Amino acid sequence: MLQIFKSTDSGLVTLDQVEDGTWINLTNPIEQEILSISESLNIPVEHLKAALDEEERSRIEVDEGCTVVLIDIPVPNTNLQDGGIYYTIPLGIIITDRNIVTVSLQENYVISSFIERRIKSFYTFKKTRFLLQILYKNSKLYLQYLRRIDKASDKIESKLHKSLKNEELIQLLGLEKSLVYFSTSLKSNEIVLEKILRSTPVKMYPEDTDLLEDVIVENKQAIEMANIYSNILTGTMDAYASVISNNLNIVMKFLTSATIVLSVPTMVASFFGMNVDVPFENNPHAFVIIFIISLVFSTILAFTMVRKQLF
C-alpha cells in the first residue's frame, strides 16, 4: 500500500503525487510501488526493500544522497499459536533532500499514530524532527507494551496458585518470548540512536538534539524494564513449576490416603465373605455389626493419618 501525505496549514492531507516536503508511507508494498518510489525519488531499490525482510538488523547508513535508518518496532501477535503476545518487525525510514519515506511489512501503531493525527506538532517537511518523533513514539510504545506484559504476568500468576495444569506456564513462556524479542530489538535500536547522536548523519538543530537525548533515555528505560521483567518472569516460572509439581504431589497423597482408608471396609467384607465359618454368620444383625466394625477401623485409620499429616 502506498500513501502520500503532506503537512499544510489545514493539517495533514493526502496527495496522489509525490511533491517536495511530502511523507511517503509504504506498507507491505508491491513491486510496482517500490519501483515507482525508487525512480521518482532516486532511492536504491535495496534500501526500500530492506525493511521488508523480517530478519533485517537495525542500522543507519548514508548512501547515494539519502539517509537510511532501520529500527525494530513492537507489534501485537495476532497468531498466538506462535508463542509470544508481541514480536518485532523492521521499520525503514529513508530521508532524502526533499522527502521522507517509511517502509514496513504491516500496519503498525507507530506509523498509524501519525497518520491518524494522534501526534501533535509534526510536519512532513521537517524531516529530521519527524524522524526523531517516530523514534520517540517507538520507545514509548515499547514501554507501553512492557507494562501490558507485566499486567498479563500478574493475572497469570494469580491463576497459578491453584493450578495443576501447564497452561499458565505456557502463557508465561509466551510472555518471556515477547520479552526476549523486545530486549534484543531495544539493544539494536540503542546502537542506532547512539550513532545518530555521535555522527549526526542528518542535519540537527539544538531542539532536535534534546529530543534525541529524550529518545535515548526512554530506550534505555525500556531496556532496563525488559531485563527486569524477564528476570522476574524466569524466576516465577521456575518457582511455579515447583508449585505445580507440589500441588500434584498433594493431590496424589490425598488420593493414596483415601484409597487406603476406603480399602478397610473392602478388606473386612472380604474376610466375612469367605466360604468358611465366620463370626456372626447366624446373627440377624450381622450386616450392621460388620458395617460398624469397618467404620470403626476406617475412622481410626483416618484419624491416625490426619495426626501424621498424611491426609
More confident residue, 95 or 284: 95
Residue 290 has pLDDT above 80, yes or no: no
What number is the average pLDDT over the span 280-306? 77
First CA to last CA distance, the chain? 66
Grid coordinates standing for 6? 503532506
Grid coordinates standing for 177? 518470548
Residue 304 confidence class, pLDDT cut points 50, 70, 90: confident
Task: Please tell me the CATH code under which domain 2-246 is placed.
Answer: 3.30.460.20
Residues 6+ apart with CB under 8 A from 93: 68, 69, 70, 71, 100, 101, 102, 131, 134
Residue 75 has pLDDT above 90, yes or no: yes
pLDDT of residue 154: 85
Three-class SS string for 68-111?
A: EEEEEEEEECCCHHHCCCEEEEEEEEEECCCCEEEEECCCCHHH
Q: Tell me the pLDDT tens digit for each residue of 26-62.
A: 999 999 999 999 998 989 899 999 999 888 899 998 8
Residue 242 confidence class, pLDDT cut points 50, 70, 90: confident
Q: Tell me the pLDDT tens digit for each residue of 138-161.
A: 999 999 999 999 998 888 877 776
Residue 226 has pLDDT above 90, yes or no: yes
Residue 272 has pLDDT above 90, yes or no: no
Contact 223, 190 (CB under 8 A): yes
Kindly report which listed range (10-19, 56-65, 107-116, 265-274) carries the lowest average pLDDT score: 265-274
Residue 82 has pLDDT above 60, yes or no: no
Residue 73 has pLDDT above 60, yes or no: yes
- Domain extents in the chain: 2-246, 248-307
Q: Tell me the pLDDT tens digit for each residue of 84-111.
A: 689 999 999 999 988 999 999 999 999 9
What number is the average pLDDT over the span 115-144? 91
Residue 4 has pLDDT above 60, yes or no: yes
Contact 84, 102 (CB under 8 A): no
**CA angle (212, 228, 158) in 5-degree steps:** 130
Residue 81 has pLDDT above 60, yes or no: no
